[in-house]
Amino acid sequence: MSAINRALEKQLVNQLKGALIASCQPVDDGPMDKVEHVRAMALAAIAGGAKGVRIEGVENVKAVAAATELPIVGIIKRDLSGCPIRITPFVDDIKMLADAGAKIIAFDGTDRVRPVDVETLLNTIHECGCIAMADCAEFEEGIKLAKLGCSFIGSTLSGYTQDQAVPEQPDYELVEKWQLQGLKVVAEGRYNSPERAAKAIELGAFCVTVGSAITRIEHITQWFVTRIDGSGRKV
C-alpha cells in the first residue's frame, strides 16, 4: 500500500473539520449542466462559507481548481452495464481527477460487485499524492476502508444500495457509530436543511456535505411545488 501524503492530509483536516462541503453537481443534462455554471456554483458556495466543494467530472474539476485553492473532492460518475458501482470505478478515473486538481478523490466503497477492487483504487489515490474518501453505505464497509488507510469515510450511499425506498431522513445512526470508532466521518446523503447538517456535526461528524439543497434548482423548486400542491388550498 502506498504511503499517505500526511502533510496534505493534515492540511485538509485543519481546513475541513466542522465545515461544510458543497456538492456542486447539477442535474444531468439539465440547463445548469455546463462547466461555466458548475464553476459559478462552486464559487458562490465558497462565498457563502463552504470550505470545500465536491465536483463531478474532469472538466468541471479543472475549471473549479483554476478558480479556487480550497479543497476539491473529485469524482467521476459512470453508468456501467451489469455493475452497480457508479462513483469513480476505474484507476484511470483517479489519475484524471488528480491531474485535474482534485485534492481528495472519492470512490464507491460499498461491498458490491465492482470492476476494480477497493485496495487498488485506494493505492492509486495515494500514488497520485491525493487523499482518499470512501462513499459507503454500511458500518463494516467504513471500518474496513479506514483500516486500509482511507482518510475520510462518507455516509454518501446509505439508503441507496438496497432494493427499497430511500429513507427520508439522513442516516444519523451510521454517522454516530463511525465517529465512536474514531473515523473522520463525512456526513452526506439527505442533509438538505441547516438543522440536519448541524445535527450531523453535533453527533460527531467530522464535516458535512450538502448537495441538492444548495445547487440543484430543479430539486429545490420541486420541493416547494409538491408542498404547495399538497396543501389542500384551492386557488
Q: What is the pLDDT of residue 83?
A: 95
The domain segmentation of the chain, as residue ranges, is 6-229
Q: What is the pLDDT of residue 233?
A: 61
Per the listing, cell 474539476 goes with 61
Per the listing, cell 493505492 goes with 123
Flag whether pLDDT at 235 surpasses 50: no
Flag whether pLDDT at 137 surpasses 50: yes
- Calculate the average pLDDT of the chain: 96
Classify domain 6-229 at the CATH superfamily level: Aldolase class I (3.20.20.70)
Q: Comparing C-alpha atoms, which of 97, 139, 140, 148 is closest to residue 120?
A: 148
Section 81-101 average pLDDT: 97
Q: How far apart are CA 205 and CA 220, in angstroms?
A: 25
Contacts of 51 (CB under 8 A, 6+ apart): 15, 16, 19, 20, 21, 70, 71, 207
**Confidence category of residue 162, pLDDT binned at 50, 70, 90:** confident
Q: What is the pLDDT of residue 232?
A: 67
Reported as a single tens digit per residue, the pLDDT across 55-81 is 999 999 999 999 999 999 999 999 999
Section 212-235 average pLDDT: 88
Q: Which amino acid is at 106?
A: A
Length of the chain: 235
Reported as a single tens digit per residue, the pLDDT across 195-217 is 999 999 999 999 999 999 999 99
Q: What is the pLDDT of residue 234?
A: 53
Section 86-106 average pLDDT: 98
pTM listed for this prediction: 0.96
Q: Three-state SS for 120?
A: helix
Section 130-150 average pLDDT: 98
Section 8-18 average pLDDT: 98
β-bridge mates for residue 132, sequence order: 105
Contacts of 25 (CB under 8 A, 6+ apart): 38, 54, 55, 56, 211, 215, 216
Q: How far apart are CA 18 and CA 103, in angstroms?
A: 18
Q: Three-state SS for 210?
A: strand
Flag whether pLDDT at 97 surpasses 60: yes
